[in-house]
Amino acid sequence: MANRLIKERRLQDDLWKVVTLSDGQSERDVPLPVGPLLVPLAVWKSRKSCLIAREYEHGTALGIWLAPEDDPAEIAGDVDDFTVIAVHFQKFTDGRGYSIARLLRERYGYDGELRAFGDVGRDQIFYLNRVGFDSFLIGEGRSAEDALAAFDDFPETYQAGADLPIPLFRRRAA
């Protein structure tokens, strides 16, 4: 059964397979299953040409996921190669993923799907959306249906953000 993903403010099945490295496993040896893949940065750096060939020859969608300690500058020249860029939240208290999202959107010009996954819950959805995330894989044991309501938690925002680039006072004056 597919995981439930919040995308475009509605629930959808998530068909992407997240590739992870087991202890002692090399990025060159990790199996790449059939279907759309989200690969970690280390696998992308090690097998870039193979992954691009797979995408173009077989029409398999390609995505990458970044850990909190990964530097998005390492994929700055490659952002157009990805259908999805995902950012892993190991702990909901770790805010580095928010900075990664802002950098990807504002500095590196990524305009594709930007996904938050891992320890992600309802309380974060509104703020994650403000910095540029537009899809969310809710953490285990949490309700994706309940998390949908987070978009309506705050009816107005004062500051500009990735979701509303014009601040409230300028929107009202127009």
Chain segment 135-174, per-residue pLDDT in tens: 999 878 888 888 888 887 777 666 667 776 666 556 555 5
Tens of pLDDT, residues 22-79? 888 889 989 999 899 999 999 999 999 999 998 888 888 999 999 999 999 999 999 9
Q: What is the pLDDT of residue 20?
A: 94
pLDDT of residue 19: 95
Buried (b) or exposed (e) across 128-156, using 16+ Cβ within 10 A?
A: bbbbbbbbbbbbeeeebeebbebeeeeee
Confidence category of residue 1, pLDDT binned at 50, 70, 90: very low
Q: Encoding tokens for residue 135?
A: 């899809």
Give me the pLDDT at residue 117, please: 96
Give the confidence band of 12 by pLDDT, cuts at 50, 70, 90. Answer: very high
Task: Give the pLDDT of residue 168.
Answer: 59
Binning pLDDT at 50, 70 and 90, where does residue 112 land? very high
Between CA 42 and CA 50 the distance in angstroms is 14
Kindly give the residue spans of alpha helices, DSSP state H, lying in the chain.
41-58, 96-102, 122-130, 144-148, 168-173
Full set of structural domains in the chain with CATH = 3-173 (3.20.20)
Given a cut of 60, whether residue 107 has pLDDT beyond it is: yes
Q: Which residues contact 78 (CB under 8 A, 6 or more apart)?
A: 44, 48
